[in-house]
């Protein structure tokens, strides 16, 4: 800008008028010259940073940058100014950190524009303090996560009834409790059809009474349902009806409710009542003191029964599955190719895997899931989901899959990619209220190094491409620009959290890939996901011999610490087959005694949860006090132990989750030993 305050700028405003305009906004506006020095600092910037304008003009922009970012700041500014993509990034909002005069760091949303002042190019930065917004977003995420975890941990099924439209909603847990398939319609008739006829009329009358004129709006019931194959279950239902209007004008708008399966509780109560009656009858002739003592014993047994149901089930189940799956695997390895028993073994192994998967879900209801990437063939995953996707699309939407047969393998978390495909397909369906086509395609793509590094900020060049496209309403550019922002959604209230696309974006980026959206109003939307190619692997399950070919032992000595005798015997046998020399210990103290003998032990392979007050993590602490460089590998049937506190003590320790295959064991052992 000119030194003459009355000078007229290119747009017809004097500099005084222009500064008045700039100072009228609450946003911070700063311009910098080609030496990275500030040439303009409006009142919004003064309020944000705590500096006066006369203290900043002519000073380097570095004074507003936190110390930890200064080393690279100048290079970033230079690269930005010289980059071919500068024009494309003009006006794009980015989150940065600034530093106030007091030294306090804060989060800000910034956009950069390139402008010309009297023939001189300047970069203009517009900043807005988003510290409070970030705190609110974090609080919302925490609140939503707590609610979700509470519902899942409590095994609570949810339902909802919109009275004006007659629409119903059943959550997945509700359907699981009721024994309903995902394809079955969510209606009152569907739910009532599973209520025994003798209970149905009274239940329906009670429900209607709760929301009709003069009703309390609250509905509570514990009743029976008759699921498939004549399985009788008990459920507890609590519902609340919301009304609009008063008096004669009052009308029911919405009913929301929760359901819990109380079969086990009622069965326990019934069993206990039976036992109490039996004891009472047997002791009827006893003196009063004997009756009193017996009543106390029954109460103690009741409490013991309740306590036993709450602990150890998942861990013990995983130990059993480890033994079952491991022995089946070794039997399969011993059978000649084509043996008739092979198909039975494979079915048993599949059942064991399904049991392990179910157990894992039960263990992780209230845990933040870490990514567990595996080499997969994306086509296999899409084909496995095809039927689910078709059901989710409904009758008015056509699902088309175009899968290239030679698609490369990729290293991703299978559960996350399945969730991503389902989420994208449902978004596409929702964008076509009148029907249309959803198209899921896979292919290979090789990017040039310039495009990979520049446009997508990727390291490699070979990627597996997944696209989900629709023929729906499309999105305008401003919506596309914000589509990946957390909590941003174009859906109505209670129809979307705005976390779906941002979750997909985070998962893909964490997996080393990239995701883009191309959309045009009236012409539909295409979401493209790029996932890195897994070099040298075909993405399909190989034979046991192939899986172990690169993970053979080199004669190392492995100390197995496991309190479960069956699991310990299986582990020792597996290690021998892999070529290791195993030693055995049934507890942490026994392992320390063996270690104190001074013999060479290349690796300690220990269970986490063991009796005697010494866990696998405790053992690791004591071992490393003696031998800091001792290699260790832990195994556990739990997803997390001690709420993750032990993992924080030993963040470098690997955990091999039970049940595991021989190939997983061989691979993990070699990775720990060769690290």
- Provide the 3-class DSSP secondary structure of residue 358: helix
Mean pLDDT of 471-490: 80
Rounded Cα gap, residues 257 and 240, in angstroms: 6
Rounded Cα gap, residues 599 and 548, in angstroms: 28
Q: At what angle do helices 414-430 and 378-393 cross, to 10 degrees?
A: 40
Higher confidence at residue 368 or residue 645?
A: 645
Mean pLDDT of 359-387: 65
Out of 136-140, 634-638, 662-666, which region has the weakest mean confidence (pLDDT)?
A: 634-638
Supply the pLDDT for residue 214: 64
Sign of CA dihedral 612, 616, 617, 619: positive
Of 251, 235, 233, 231, give the one whose Cα is nearest residue 243.
251
**pLDDT tens for each residue of 310-319:** 334 555 666 6
Q: Is the pLDDT of residue 124 over 70?
A: yes
Mean pLDDT (the chain) is: 78
Mean pLDDT of 371-383: 83
- Provide the 3-class DSSP secondary structure of residue 168: strand
Q: 269-272, long-range: CB within 8 Å, 24+ apart, which pairs?
A: 272/298, 272/301, 272/302, 272/305
First to last CA, the chain: 60
Higher confidence at residue 630 or residue 215?
A: 630
- For the stretch 395-414, what's the b/e string if a residue is b when 16 or more beta carbons lie within 10 angstroms of its beta carbon? eebebebebeeebbbbbbbb
Q: What percent of the chain has pLDDT over 90?
A: 15
Rounded Cα gap, residues 571 and 658, in angstroms: 12
Three-class SS string for 556-587?
CEEEEECCCHHHHHHHHHHHHHHCCEEEEECC
**pLDDT tens for each residue of 50-107:** 999 999 999 998 899 898 877 766 666 666 666 544 444 445 678 888 889 998 988 8
Q: Is the pLDDT of residue 131 over 80?
A: yes
Supply the pLDDT for residue 453: 66
Higher confidence at residue 289 or residue 42?
A: 42
Supply the pLDDT for residue 55: 92
Q: Is the pLDDT of residue 363 over 50?
A: no
Confidence of residue 541 (pLDDT cuts 50, 70, 90): very low
Supply the pLDDT for residue 306: 29
Q: Tell me how far CA of residue 162 lies from CA of 169, 250, 424, in angstroms.
A: 9, 15, 26
Confidence of residue 183 (pLDDT cuts 50, 70, 90): confident
* Phi-psi region at 338: left, alpha or beta (left = phi > 0; alpha = psi -120 to 50): left
Mean pLDDT of 443-459: 73
Supply the pLDDT for residue 649: 72
Spatial CB neighbours of 309, under 8 Å, sequence gap ≥ 6: 264, 268
Mean pLDDT of 593-601: 91
71: phi then psi, degrees, rounded to nearest 5: -60, -35
**pTM of the predicted model as reported, rounded to 2 decimal places:** 0.33
Spatial CB neighbours of 19, under 8 Å, sequence gap ≥ 6: 42
Mean pLDDT of 265-290: 81
- Please give the class, per CATH, of domain 15-129: alpha beta
- Please give the class, per CATH, of domain 374-532: alpha beta
Supply the pLDDT for residue 308: 36
Please state which of the four CATH numbers 3.30.2010.30, 3.90.550.10, 3.40.1550.10, 3.30.450.20 is assigned to the domain occupying 139-261.
3.30.450.20
Higher confidence at residue 198 or residue 349?
A: 198
Residue 50 DSSP label: S
**pLDDT tens for each residue of 409-422:** 998 888 788 888 88
Sign of CA dihedral 551, 554, 559, 564: positive
**pLDDT tens for each residue of 226-275:** 887 778 889 888 888 888 888 777 888 888 888 998 888 888 988 888 88
Mean pLDDT of 336-344: 75
> Half-sphere exposure (CA, 13 Å, Cβ side) for 437?
7
Mean pLDDT of 329-353: 74
Of 559, 551, 555, 552, give the one whose Cα is nearest residue 631.
559
Peptide bond connecting 287 to the previous residue in cis, omega within 30 degrees of 0: no
Supply the pLDDT for residue 5: 47
Q: Is the pLDDT of residue 49 over 90?
A: yes
Q: Is the pLDDT of residue 297 over 50?
A: no
Supply the pLDDT for residue 537: 54
Please state which of the four CATH numbers 3.40.1390.30, 3.30.479.30, 3.40.50.2300, 3.60.70.12 is assigned to the domain occupying 548-674.
3.40.50.2300
Mean pLDDT of 615-630: 91
Residue 446 bridge partners (DSSP): 462
Residue 120 bridge partners (DSSP): 117
């Amino acid at each position: 800008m000119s030194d003459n305050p009355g000078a007229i700028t290119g747009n017809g405003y004097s500099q005084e008028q222009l500064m008045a305009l700039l100072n009228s906004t609450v946003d911070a506006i700063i311009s910098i010259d080609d030496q990275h020095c500030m040439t303009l600092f409006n009142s919004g910037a003064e309020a944000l940073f705590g500096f006066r304008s006369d203290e900043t003009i002519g000073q380097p922009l570095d004074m507003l940058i936190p110390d930890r970012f200064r080393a690279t700041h100048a290079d970033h500014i230079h690269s930005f100014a010289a980059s071919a993509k500068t024009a494309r990034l003009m006006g794009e909002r980015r989150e940065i950190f600034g530093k106030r005069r007091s030294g306090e760091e804060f989060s800000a949303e910034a956009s950069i524009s390139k402008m010309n002042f009297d023939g001189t190019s300047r970069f203009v930065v517009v900043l807005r303090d988003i510290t409070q917004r970030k705190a609110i977003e974090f609080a919302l995420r925490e609140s939503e996560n707590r609610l979700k975890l509470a519902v899942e941990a409590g095994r609570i099924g949810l339902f909802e009834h919109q009275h004006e439209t007659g629409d119903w909603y059943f959550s997945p847990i509700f359907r699981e409790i009721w024994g309903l398939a995902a394809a079955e319609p969510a209606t009152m008739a569907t739910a009532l059809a599973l209520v025994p006829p003798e209970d149905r009329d009274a239940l329906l009358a009670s429900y209607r009474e709760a929301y009709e004129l003069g009703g309390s709006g609250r509905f509570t019931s514990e009743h029976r349902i008759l699921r498939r194959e004549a399985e009788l279950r008990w459920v507890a239902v609590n519902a609340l009806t919301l009304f609009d209007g008063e008096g004669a004008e009052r009308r029911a708008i919405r009913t929301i409710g929760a359901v819990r399966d109380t079969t086990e509780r009622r069965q326990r109560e019934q069993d206990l009542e039976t036992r109490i009656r039996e004891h009472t009858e047997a002791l009827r002739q006893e003196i009063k003191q004997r009756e009193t003592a017996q009543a106390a014993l029954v109460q103690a047994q009741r409490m013991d029964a309740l306590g036993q149901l709450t602990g150890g089930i998942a861990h013990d189940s995983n130990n059993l599955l480890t033994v079952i799956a491991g022995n089946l695997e070794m039997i399969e390895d011993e059978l000649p190719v084509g043996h008739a028993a092979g198909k039975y073994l494979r079915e048993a192994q599949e059942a064991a895997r399904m049991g392990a998967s179910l157990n894992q879900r039960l263990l992780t209801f209230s845990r933040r899931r870490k990514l567990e990437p595996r080499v997969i063939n994306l086509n296999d995953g899409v084909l496995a989901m095809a039927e689910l996707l078709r059901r989710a699309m409904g009758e008015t939407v056509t699902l088309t899959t175009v899968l290239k047969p030679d698609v490369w393998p990729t290293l991703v978390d299978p559960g996350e990619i399945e969730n991503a495909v389902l989420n994208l397909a449902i978004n596409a369906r929702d964008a076509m209220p009148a029907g249309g086509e959803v198209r899921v395609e896979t292919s290979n793509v090789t990017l040039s190094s310039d495009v990979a590094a520049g446009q997508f900020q990727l390291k490699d060049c070979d990627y597996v491409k997944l696209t989900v496209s629709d023929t729906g309403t499309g999105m305008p550019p401003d919506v596309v620009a914000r589509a990946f922002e957390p909590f941003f959604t174009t859906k109505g209230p209670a129809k979307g959290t705005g976390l779906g696309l941002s979750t997909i974006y985070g998962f893909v980026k964490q997996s080393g890939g990239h995701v883009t959206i191309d959309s045009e109003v009236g012409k539909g939307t295409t979401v493209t996901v790029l996932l890195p190619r897994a070099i040298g692997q075909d993405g399909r399950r190989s034979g046991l011999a192939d899986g172990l070919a690169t993970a053979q032992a080199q004669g190392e000595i492995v100390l197995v610490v496991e309190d479960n005798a069956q699991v310990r015997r299986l582990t020792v046998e597996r290690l021998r087959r892999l070529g290791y020399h195993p030693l055995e210990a049934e507890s942490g103290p026994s392992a320390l005694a063996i270690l104190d003998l001074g013999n060479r032990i290349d690796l300690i392979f220990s269970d986490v949860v063991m009796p005697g007050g010494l866990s696998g993590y405790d053992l690791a602490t004591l071992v490393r006090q003696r031998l800091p460089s001792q290699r260790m590998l832990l195994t556990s049937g739990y997803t997390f132990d001690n709420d993750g506190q032990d993992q924080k003590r030993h963040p470098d320790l690997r955990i091999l989750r039970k049940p595991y295959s021989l190939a997983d064991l061989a691979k993990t052992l070699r990775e720990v030993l060769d690290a």
